[in-house]
Amino acid sequence: MSSSEDKQPVKGPASYFPSIEKKYGRPIAEWKALIRAQPGLKHMELVAWLKATHGLGHGHANALVAHTLAEDK
């Protein structure tokens, strides 16, 4: 691996995390806890819930849900 590969930016849903924390003022762990407190909802239902209840944008909500559900598999 070359030194340039060592410093690649974070990709995928986690790449949104710094901007989510800055924009909405909650740590990612708190968002994940909120998502996990909604048992039985599917991916897009969770995205819609975050958007409607917490005012998140679609991309941010989708990134949080995707990352949380992937961790929980």
Q: Which positions ≥6 away from 70 have C-beta within 8 Å? A: 13
Q: Show pLDDT as tens, one digit a residue, over the chain (73 residues).
A: 444 445 567 888 999 999 999 999 999 999 999 999 999 999 999 999 999 999 999 999 999 999 999 999 8
9 is written with which tokens? 């930016």
- What pTM value is reported for the model? 0.85
Question: Cα–Cα distance between 9 and 6 in angstroms, integer?
Answer: 9
As a whole number of angstroms, the distance between CA 58 and CA 7 comes to 28
Q: Where are the domains of the chain?
A: 13-71
